[in-house]
């Protein structure tokens, strides 16, 4: 919240919707923004001047203690429901899709929105071509740095914490309602504990 209070974040950011950070960056209202889906450079690929020369993807800075950051990653998994209309066809399609040559072509077509998990796919020069100032840099977080999965892959309760925007609401309480960071954090932790308790009851 100190970034906002000290004027490093646009005043109207507290009212932004999901894509407004992209819009403000492309309209040159902000100098930089976090863009884990690579949607900003992806949206500018048709204009080489903008894509190659006017915007850049950079790695995260080191942590305050000087240590390199650990990058959060999410792994996408396909599901076939037992009630699906054509489960056999669905299985056949997935068997086709996960062949390295097919999956590799599909992921490359996403232009940075997805990255491969099969080690042999990383051998494709596409992911390391330094002429591309975005994909080559984003690839480094998977090949050169430590990563760990989002918490919702460990416990489903974290998915509810995310969907209810617990920490976003905590920051709003500081910036809009005037609560102290400690007060807002205590409220957030209380809500998170309640969510986890409900999940334990459901699982029991």
What pLDDT, on a 0 to 100 scale, did the predictor assign at position 202? 64
Angle between helices 87-97 and 100-109 (to 10 degrees): 80
What pLDDT, on a 0 to 100 scale, did the predictor assign at position 105? 95
| Three-state SS letters, 156-187 | CHHHHHHHCCHHHHHHHHHHCCCCCHHHHHHH
Q: Which residues pair with 147 in a beta bridge?
A: 71
What pLDDT, on a 0 to 100 scale, did the predictor assign at position 75? 87
Q: What is the mean pLDDT of each run of 10 residues along the chain (204 residues)?
A: 91 91 95 92 94 95 93 89 93 96 93 90 94 94 90 89 94 94 98 94 63
For residue 179, the Cα-to-chain-centroid distance in whole angstroms is 28
Q: What is the pLDDT of residues 41-55, one digit of tens each?
A: 999 999 999 999 999
For residue 93, the Cα-to-chain-centroid distance in whole angstroms is 27
How far apart (Å, rounded) are the C-alpha atoms in residues 72 and 149? 6
The DSSP symbol for 13 reads G
Q: Which residues pair with 149 in a beta bridge?
A: 73
What pLDDT, on a 0 to 100 scale, did the predictor assign at position 204? 55
How far apart (Å, rounded) are the C-alpha atoms in residues 198 and 185? 20
């Amino acid at each position: 919240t100190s970034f906002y209070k000290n004027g490093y974040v646009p005043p109207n950011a507290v009212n932004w919707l999901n894509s407004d950070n992209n819009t403000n960056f492309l309209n040159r209202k902000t100098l930089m923004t976090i863009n884990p889906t690579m949607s900003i450079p992806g949206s500018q690929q048709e204009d080489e001047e903008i894509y190659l020369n006017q915007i850049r993807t950079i790695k995260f800075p080191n942590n305050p203690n000087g240590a390199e950051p650990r990058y959060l990653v999410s792994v996408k998994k396909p599901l076939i429901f037992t009630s699906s209309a054509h489960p056999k066809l669905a299985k056949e399609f997935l068997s086709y899709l996960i062949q390295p040559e097919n999956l590799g072509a599909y992921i490359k077509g996403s232009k940075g929105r997805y990255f491969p998990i099969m080690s042999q796919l990383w051998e494709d020069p596409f992911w390391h071509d330094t002429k591309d100032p975005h994909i080559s840099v984003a690839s480094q977080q998977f090949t050169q740095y430590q990563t760990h999965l989002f918490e919702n892959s460990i416990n489903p309760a974290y998915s509810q914490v995310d969907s209810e925007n617990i920490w976003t609401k905590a920051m709003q309480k500081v910036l809009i309602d005037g609560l102290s960071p400690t007060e807002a954090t205590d409220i957030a932790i209380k809500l998170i504990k309640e969510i986890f308790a409900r999940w334990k009851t459901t699982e029991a």
